[in-house]
A and B are shown apart, each in its own frame.
Chain A
Amino acid sequence: MGKRQVVIVGVADAPLEKGVIPGGANDLEIQARAAKAALDEAGLKLSDVDGLSTAGLWGIPGPGQFATISLSEHLGIRPKFSDSTNLGGSAFEAHVGHAAMAIESGAIDVALITYGSTQKSQRSRNLGGRPPSFSLQFDTPYGLPNPVGAYAMAATRHMHEYGTTSEHLAEIAVATRQWAMKNPGATMRDPLTVEDVLSSKTITDPLHLLDCCLVTDGGGAVVLTTEERARDLKARPIYVRGHGESQTHMSIAAMPDLAFHTAAAESGVRAFEMAGIGPEAIDVAEIYDSFTITVLLTLEALGFCGRGEGGAFVSNGRTGPGGAFPMNTNGGGLSYAHPGMYGIFLLIEAVRQLRGEAGERQVADVKTALAHGTGGVLSSGATCILSNH
């Protein structure tokens, strides 16, 4: 018996108003609402779900440490496969990979991946409150702003080695905002210029406020099953062609090379090899944008351009609407939403582009899409390659 082909048959994200969940909900309810919407879209029921994946900082300290148990209790299901792998923001791309292996092997038939956070409405974002134990005992006492300071040090090094400029980084924020202006669900939709980014407050050199992602609530869900099962379902199946993951460090001081996103490079190679294609075959790219520098480093690591060429690559609106390299087409973490961990939204937007459902922001003739998550402080990378054929 050959491997079963894995497909995505449902996606959903929670509507936001000014970055918060209207009416309020807890972290579990947000995930449950998104799960129902994604399952409804697929034409599946909650009782069909036999694999459950989630990750987050929600409910920590507290029962959120047992993420899938808390969520399965809330949903009222008893999954026989669960995955609370937490790689930071890239967790959800890794969850797709793990769920795909479970579905391929026949262990499960329907996997539900969710994320939810009320960090904005609950004012609960508190990364600085982590006890400085293990390797962080050598970082946190020195006042490195977390996580932005770590990304800033990567940007400083990249600028030193390759002559990358703040203008290059600003180009990414500007192009991403142009996509957000085409997305009615995006949080930030006012026009943005390179000058606006450069004149926004410096948080920690060389990153400005507008080089940084938003702080919002958010929730999302993705449903996977087999191609065979999808024949009886209403949603157009999107094929999982390749996946990969890697991780390199917890403390930024232990990152192998601060001018190169090693985890993304290793993850990307694995995903491309599995898919049997290269970067040139990607029609639309959804690249984790916690900070502008995250994107630039990831583009180089995945091989969309050479090392040190990221600045030139993103110049002149190349990644914006009408550009040669459509990227972060929902407005990204920089302008759409960023509820602490953003990786699931990369998958949701990639699927909508592949289905041709992206409305005003739809890219023409999309056949193959890439979603790449980055977690921690450039600590992890996980990549999914999806197609509609």
Chain B
Amino acid sequence: MYEKPLPVIDPTTRPFWDAAKAHRLVVQRCQDCKMHIFIPRSNCTSCFSDRLEWVEVSGEGTIYTYTIARRPAGPAFKEEVPYAVAIIDLKEGPRILSNVVTDDVEGVTIGQKVRVIFDDVTEDVTLPKFVPAES
């Protein structure tokens, strides 16, 4: 049984999680100013347009910052330490927080290129995670 915390999915965020389950990474894009937006919301944070659409993105990104957890975030993560949590600048602009899944956790660094993978953690939930791009 999967013991780690699962997202509390709501109608606003459902399209993101449905796409992840289909192994697609999607974010919103403003149809007026064309800015890509994450996290899911009802209006553009740049021009305040409410004409947002869901678009698939490349899944390529660069590590903006990270931390290596040496102590788990609760008992469910005990077996994982040390593990990398990073904020990733997606190629299309928005930032997303995720894990960098790698055997070389000490090699994780700012500026590292990463690409998305999909971890089907339960029947209902798939978590987008990232791996070093060269792997």
B123 CB-CB contact with A under 8 Å: no
B8 CB-CB contact with A under 8 Å: yes
CB–CB A156/B66 < 8 A: yes
- The segment from B28-36, B53-61, B70-78 found at the interface with A is B70-78
- Using known A-B contacts A135-B39, A251-B97, A252-B87, determine if residue A141 contacts B127 with beta carbons closer than 8 Å: yes
B47 CB-CB contact with A under 8 Å: no
Q: Which A residues lie within 8 Å of B133 (CB)?
A: none
Taking a contact as CB atoms closer than 8 A, the residue among B7, B13, B85 that contacts A149 in the complex is B85
Nearest CB on B from A134, distance (A): 8
* B interface residues with partner A (beta carbon < 8 Å): 4-10, 13, 38-39, 64-74, 76-77, 80, 83, 85-87, 95-99, 110, 121, 125, 127, 129
Q: Which residue of B lies closest to A144 (CB)?
A: B85
Taking a contact as CB atoms closer than 8 A, the residue among A152, A203, A252 that contacts B97 in the complex is A252
What 6 pairs across the A-B complex have the smallest Cβ distances?
A137-B7, A133-B8, A152-B67, A253-B97, A157-B65, A205-B68
Q: Which residue of B lies closest to A129 (CB)?
A: B74
Q: List 11 A-B contacts (CB under 8 A).
A: A135-B39, A137-B8, A138-B39, A140-B7, A141-B5, A141-B7, A141-B125, A143-B83, A153-B65, A157-B65, A205-B70
> In this complex, which of A133, A134, A142 has the most chain B Cβ atoms within 10 angstroms of its Cβ?
A142
Q: Which residue of A lies closest to B125 (CB)?
A: A141
Q: Which B residues lie within 8 Å of A143 (CB)?
A: 4, 69, 72-74, 76-77, 80, 83, 85, 99
A154 CB-CB contact with B under 8 Å: yes
Taking a contact as CB atoms closer than 8 A, the residue among B10, B97, B127 that contacts A144 in the complex is B97
CB–CB A141/B4 < 8 A: yes
Q: Which residue of A lies closest to B100 (CB)?
A: A142
CB–CB B39/A254 < 8 A: yes
- Other than the given A143-B99, A252-B87, A254-B39, 9 more pairs (CB < 8 A) read A137-B7, A141-B121, A144-B97, A156-B67, A202-B70, A204-B71, A205-B67, A205-B70, A206-B67
A181 CB-CB contact with B under 8 Å: no
Q: Which B residues lie within 8 Å of A45 (CB)?
A: none
Nearest CB on A from B111, distance (A): 8
A276 CB-CB contact with B under 8 Å: no
Taking a contact as CB atoms closer than 8 A, the residue among B4, B69, B87 that contacts A204 in the complex is B69
- Using known A-B contacts A153-B87, A156-B65, A204-B68, determine if residue A144 contacts B73 with beta carbons closer than 8 Å: yes
A74 CB-CB contact with B under 8 Å: no
Q: Which A residues lie within 8 Å of B110 (CB)?
A: 156-157, 160
CB–CB A138/B69 < 8 A: no
Taking a contact as CB atoms closer than 8 A, the residue among A145, A202, A253 that contacts B87 in the complex is A253
Q: In the bound complex, how far is the Cα of B67 from the Cα of A202, in angstroms? A: 11
CB–CB B73/A132 < 8 A: no
Q: Which A residues lie within 8 Å of B129 (CB)?
A: 142
Nearest CB on B from A253, distance (A): 4
A128 CB-CB contact with B under 8 Å: yes
Nearest CB on B from A138, distance (A): 6
Q: In the bound complex, how far is the Cα of B71 from the Cα of A148, in angstroms? A: 11
Q: Which A residues lie within 8 Å of B69 (CB)?
A: 143-145, 149, 204
* A interface residues with partner B (beta carbon < 8 Å): 128, 131-135, 137-146, 149, 152-154, 156-157, 160, 201-206, 251-254, 258
Q: In the bound complex, how far is the Cα of B39 from the Cα of A254, in angstroms? A: 8
Q: Which residue of B lies closest to A130 (CB)?
A: B5
Q: Which A residues lie within 8 Å of B9 (CB)?
A: 137
Q: In the bound complex, how far is the Cα of B49 from the Cα of A205, in angstroms? A: 39
Q: In the bound complex, how far is the Cα of B129 from the Cα of A196, in angstroms? A: 36
CB–CB B65/A149 < 8 A: no
Q: Which residue of B lies closest to A156 (CB)?
A: B65
Q: In the bound complex, how far is the Cα of B69 from the Cα of A201, in angstroms? A: 12
CB–CB B71/A138 < 8 A: no
Q: In the bound complex, how far is the Cα of B8 from the Cα of A264, in angstroms? A: 31
CB–CB A142/B65 < 8 A: no
CB–CB A146/B4 < 8 A: no
> In this complex, which of A132, A152, A157, A253 has the most chain B Cβ atoms within 10 angstroms of its Cβ?
A253
Q: In the bound complex, how far is the Cα of B5 from the Cα of A133, in angstroms? A: 11
Nearest CB on B from A280, distance (A): 32
Q: In the bound complex, how far is the Cα of B65 from the Cα of A157, in angstroms? A: 6
Q: In the bound complex, how far is the Cα of B67 from the Cα of A252, in angstroms? A: 12
Q: In the bound complex, how far is the Cα of B38 from the Cα of A156, in angstroms? A: 22
CB–CB B72/A153 < 8 A: no
CB–CB B71/A253 < 8 A: no
Q: In the bound complex, how far is the Cα of B13 from the Cα of A253, in angstroms? A: 16
Nearest CB on B from A140, distance (A): 5
CB–CB B13/A137 < 8 A: yes
> In this complex, which of A143, A154, A205, A251 has the most chain B Cβ atoms within 10 angstroms of its Cβ?
A143
Q: Which A residues lie within 8 Å of B85 (CB)?
A: 142-144, 149, 153
Taking a contact as CB atoms closer than 8 A, the residue among A146, A153, A206 that contacts B73 in the complex is A146
Q: In the bound complex, how far is the Cα of B105 from the Cα of A264, in angstroms? A: 33
Q: In the bound complex, how far is the Cα of B6 from the Cα of A139, in angstroms? A: 10
